[in-house]
Amino acid sequence: MIEFLKKYYLHIIGVILFLGLVYLTVYLATPEPDMSELDKYKLEQIDKDINLILENQKKLDKQIEGYKNEISKIDSTIAQVKNQKTVVREYYRDLGEKVDKMKKKEIDSFFHARYNN
């Protein structure tokens, strides 16, 4: 290894110097990002607008949650009405079946009791 370094030390130093020169050239040739005051102001305004939009979105999300709660209450009321409707339908179906099996006198007394109250 030492013989290799002694033999090629000029080449190794040349490569290191060349790489250093390339790095220095690229570093010096690359411009630093320069932002004008106008650009900074525009970015600040955009940030403010984004924050305002996010706040409005949070308010809307809260309103949506309120509406979802109201909708769930309405849905439960609808389900109760459907159940009551089913009970009433079955009650009157049973009454209709009873009327089909009644005699004339029973039918007269049934309707008399029902509509004269």
- Burial status of residue 110 (CB atoms within 10 A of its CB: 0-12, 13-18, 19 or more): middle
Q: What is the pLDDT of residue 114?
A: 73
Nearest alpha-carbon partner for 95 in 81, 114, 74, 70: 114
Measure Cα distances from 89 to 82, 84, 92, 102, 115 in Å.
10, 8, 5, 20, 19
Q: What is the pLDDT of residue 41?
A: 93
As a whole number of angstroms, the distance between CA 103 and CA 114 comes to 16
**What number is the average pLDDT over the span 80-96?**
90
**Residue-wise pLDDT tens digits, 7-66:** 888 898 999 999 999 999 998 888 877 778 888 899 999 999 999 999 999 999 999 999
Q: What is the pLDDT of residue 98?
A: 81
Q: What is the pLDDT of residue 101?
A: 82
